[in-house]
Each structure stands twice: as structure tokens, then as C-alpha cells.
Amino acid sequence: MLAYKRIGVTVKSGLDKKDKAVKHIMDILRKLGAHICLDVKRAEDYANVKDVEPLECIENIDLLIVIGGDGTILRAFREMKDLSIPILSVNWGTVGFLAETNLTEADQLLPELLSGGGTLEERGILHVEVLRGKETFFNGYALNEAVIAQGTIARLVDLKASVNGESLTTFHADGLIISTPTGSTAYSLAAGGPVVHPTISATILTPINPHSFSQKPIVIPGDSAVEVEVLTRENKFRDTEVVLTLDGQVYVPLKHHDRVSARVYRQKVRFLRRSQDTFFSTLRAKLKWGESTER
């Protein structure tokens, strides 16, 4: 008996051999007797698209299956109105830190997971607001990270950071990454940040190419409130543009003295996983930690 009966399926729009991937997953779900809701706008190449219920909005389902890479998961998360709906990712991307399975093992693993053989893993997300004066003119959510950086010409910016109202430092750098533990293996890792287990309640601040060697990444408690004030330096070209990006998918131009506030949101995103913890095996596989250095 299925633990998840109504299953939504979405796919990366530009996925190579997308129709083959969708057909494979749909065939498995049909054999299991699941009620399927397909993201028909992104699966237009699927031959039987007219025979399934469209997934017009990601709600009223028991589970969402995402076919693609981590970027597709981030897009699907951003479209979700109900964060209680678990996500199961089938990787067809490159690195795929968030993926639980791939097409080669889907025939065996999907029946097990959909029948209740898996476990639900909760991941924290960031709630991000931008204040201009006394007005909040933007708010959004990030599963991986919020990045404040110079958006046009390579030029250092000053970002005054405080935690729970206490001054931390003013970063003179290319930018600052405010990351969740899930995002610690994404942009933050590339900028020299630490790998943090995704189930830990924490926020990671990672400066991007700081001018001072003393400014290092820092991990703070997840219930901390981070505020970053933009202190752009005037120059004769007046070309310094600072932007906020969320998960590399949302772009917000910032002005001098704008304040970006970020803290862990009260709700979490849920991922359907195998019963055993796969995070360390994922690190070994994706970061190639298990490979011999001998030649």
C-alpha cells in the first residue's frame, strides 16, 4: 500500500532527453497505482501528456518528485505554497547534492520509498527581508543561500554585519554569503566556507574574497538574526551596484544604507530519503573524497 498516493512530477525545462526521463518515472508510478499530477508546461515532450492531470500549482499532493539537478529543486521549492509536502529528487544534473536517487536505481528505490520505507529529513530555510529606511520593500526565502555582492564591475564593497543587534564586522570584500547548512555545499563551499551537516540548526556567513585575511567564515546558531547594511563606497565613476540574490534565482538591486535581514524560518522543507543517512556518502561521491591520491 502506498504511503504517498497523489504524486506531483516536475522536470527541468531544458533537460537532455527529458521525455525519456519523464516516461521512466511515470511508468514506475503507474505500476504502483499512484495518482499522478504532471507539470505539463515543462513536460510538453512527454507523449501522453494529455492523459494525465496537470500540476498547475504545487499543492493538494502528498509528494513532489523533481527530475533534474539541484537548480530544479530550488525552483520547485520556490513555487511551493505548502512546505509540508515532501520532495523526492531524481538526479539528472551534475553534482546533485540534494538528490536522493537517479534513473538507474529508480525502479528499485521508488517503490520502497513510496510504500513508506523511507524517512523524512527536514532542512532549514532562510527568511530574507530588505529594509530601505523604515520600509520593508522585499522579502523572500532561500534554501541554499542569500548573497550580497557587487553586481557589475569587479569592485570591493563594504557590508556592515551584525548578529542579534551586536556588531560583528564590516566586510570589505567582493560580497557576503549568508548560507543554510544545505547551502554549505554550494556557493559557500566554493568561496572557502565550511561543510555543515544539513540537519544542524545554523547559519553560515562566508565573505567572498575579503580584503582582510582576518575575516573568515563563521558559523552561528540557527536562531540568530543577521543584519547586513550596504555601505557602498563612492567613486568618480559611480558604477558600484550591489545586488541581493537568493539561491541564484532571485535578483534584487540594493542601494546605499539598505539593510538585509536574514534568519532561519520557522517552517522547514522536507525531503523523502532512504532510512539511512546518506549525507556522508554523498560527500564522498560528489567531492570525490573516497578517491585515491596515488597515481
Active site residues: 70
The label of the residue with cell 504524486 reads: 7
Is 154:237 a contact under the CB 8 Å cutoff?
no
- Phi, psi (5° rounding) for residue 173? -155, 180
What secondary structure does DSSP assign to 21-41, as a single string? HHHHHHHHHHHHT-EEEE-TT
Which of 177, 196, 197 lies closest to 188, judged by CA? 177
Q: Which residues have C-beta within 8 Å of that of residue 183, sequence separation ≥ 6? A: 142, 143, 144, 145, 177, 204, 247
d(CA 284, CA 183) in angstroms, rounded, equals: 17
